[in-house]
Copies of this chain bind each other. A is one copy, B any other.
Amino acid sequence: MKDAETIHELMQDLGRKAKAAAQELAFAPSEAKTRALEAAADAVWARRDEIIAANAKDLDFGRDKGLSPAMMDRLMLDETRIQGICDGLRAVAAQDDPVGAVMAEWDRPTGLHIKRVRTPLGVIGVIYESRPNVTADAGALCLKSGNAVILRGGSESFHSSGAIHGCLVEGLKAAGLPADAIQLVPTRDRDAVRELLTMTDYVDVIVPRGGKGLVGLVQREARVPVFAHLEGIVHIYIDKAADPQKTMDVVLNAKTRRTGICGAAECLLIHRDALELGQAVIDALTAAGVEVRAGEGLAGSVPATEADWGTEYLDSIIAAKVVDDLDAAIDHIRTYSSSHTDAIMTEDDAAAARFFERIDSAILMRNASTQFADGGEFGMGAEIGIATGKMHARGPVGAEQLTSFKYIVEGDGTTRT
């Protein structure tokens, strides 16, 4: 443990180094970034025993701390998971480099030719919890998008993250890129997080990866922009024009495929005229082991209470409610949604259009499982998270969303009259 003054100095130093590295990275060739990520993958695999030994220390720490079995599982690394980390690094290496891409170009009557070109954002701070693989995933995505990154892992994964970080630095060096492009906060001290959140001179954006507690803290305390979602309170509305089979398939998938991800359905809204279908879906959910908290007029596992609307269970639980019509569903979603992902089941184009137009969530779906709310499934490559804010990045945050742009204007001695 270091005292506050020392932590402040330490973080300022990381910030300065990150900013300097970011200036270099901004024009690093694509091939160098690709080579760095491939070399990092090689290093992770070559040093897997070292990583597993570091992970053993973290597991001991976790056991002493009394972590839950679920958290211990998230923390644990074995050869299979290390292989997964390597695969992830290689996948990002193989992705397109967004930097330098021409987003648009046009000519002006004055003779000017204007291009809008992608640039890195600068320095990204990533704050995460127990999963040590985030060290590699987030580090890789920031590097691919030409940004320097300051990683702050969970205290539980301190040694594992450190070992993985060492491999990333090895990759950077092998490719002739600045080692400070990917830095890991070298202390477990929690003051470091507060410093990172307020380093407006050095940090351009913060991405928190973790539960509601972490994200809420970051959103409250950050003095720099944040790409995040606090919760995924995901609704599926069964319209009166819903197709029964599609609805059955989609709702079951959206709730049960994986219950712990942010795209998992948490609340079912059923049009009064689709009550029979809605009840059949509830019965199927119940049969699949889901606890259905059912509103008036519906038979579920237990009755819903007011507290069930707007709750993210992240578990095998779903709320269900009858609504009078499409507009009542829209009202409910506007009131309780977290603007992450909401869906409508309908064969009626006009109903879908009204739903899409009047709800402002990052992702709106029709006749598709909300579990598709994912950068990979969107075809964006790796994602660093999903954002529900309206500034800059929204929805899945991939390499492209980690960029800004500039205008390149070319004339031929052109003057303004």
Q: Is the CB of B23 within 8 A of A334?
A: yes
Instruction: Choose, from A32-40, A65-73, A399-407, the stretch at the interface.
Output: A399-407
In the complex, residue of chain B having the shortest beta-carbon distance to the beta carbon of A246? B413
Instruction: Choose, from A54-62, A77-85, A288-296, A372-380, the stretch at the interface.
Output: A372-380
- With contacts A121-B390, A358-B27, A392-B391 known, is A413 near B372, CB below 8 A? no
Q: How far is the CA of A252 from the CA of B413 in the complex (A)?
A: 11
Q: How far is the CA of A412 from the CA of B242 in the complex (A)?
A: 11
Instruction: Choose, from A6-14, A132-140, A158-166, A360-368, the stretch at the interface.
Output: A360-368
Q: How far is the CA of A26 from the CA of B339 in the complex (A)?
A: 15
Q: Is the CB of B365 within 8 A of A411?
A: yes
Q: Is the CB of B204 within 8 A of A368?
A: no
**Contact among B110, B254, B390, B406 with A372 in the assembled complex (CB-CB below 8 Å):** B110
Closest Cβ of chain B: how far from A161's Cβ, in Å? Answer: 27
Q: Which of the listed residues A121, A204, A245, A367 has the most CB atoms from chain B within 10 Å of its own CB?
A: A367
Q: Is the CB of A250 within 8 A of B365?
A: no
CB neighbours of A362 from chain B (8 A): 406-407
Sample of 6 further A-B pairs with CB below 8 A, known A246-B413, A372-B414: A26-B357, A27-B358, A112-B372, A117-B356, A121-B390, A364-B409
Q: Is the CB of B121 within 8 A of A408?
A: no
Q: How far is the CA of A82 from the CA of B39 in the complex (A)?
A: 65
Tell whether A259 is near chain B: CB-to-CB under 8 Å: no
CB neighbours of A27 from chain B (8 A): 357-358
Chain A 274-324 residues near chain B, CB threshold 8 A: none
Q: Is the CB of B408 within 8 A of A364?
A: yes
A residues neighboring B (CB under 8 Å): 23, 26-27, 106, 108, 110, 112, 114, 117, 119, 121-122, 204-205, 225, 243, 245-247, 249-250, 252-254, 257, 334, 352, 356-358, 360-369, 371-372, 377-379, 390-392, 394-395, 404-416
Closest Cβ of chain B: how far from A316's Cβ, in Å? Answer: 17
Q: Is the CB of A108 within 8 A of B379?
A: yes
- With contacts A360-B119, A378-B114 known, is A415 near B250, CB below 8 A? yes
In the complex, residue of chain B having the shortest beta-carbon distance to the beta carbon of A227? B391
Q: Is the CB of A416 within 8 A of B360?
A: no
Q: How far is the CA of A391 from the CA of B361 in the complex (A)?
A: 20
In the complex, residue of chain B having the shortest beta-carbon distance to the beta carbon of A379? B108
CB neighbours of A108 from chain B (8 A): 377-379
Q: Is the CB of A368 within 8 A of B406?
A: no
Q: How far is the CA of A362 from the CA of B407 in the complex (A)?
A: 6
Q: Is the CB of B395 within 8 A of A406?
A: yes
**Contact among B246, B391, B395, B412 with A391 in the assembled complex (CB-CB below 8 Å):** B391
In the complex, residue of chain B having the shortest beta-carbon distance to the beta carbon of A26? B360
CB neighbours of A408 from chain B (8 A): 356, 364-366
Closest Cβ of chain B: how far from A229's Cβ, in Å? Answer: 13
Q: Is the CB of B246 within 8 A of A416?
A: no
Q: Which of the listed residues A26, A205, A411 has the most CB atoms from chain B within 10 Å of its own CB?
A: A411
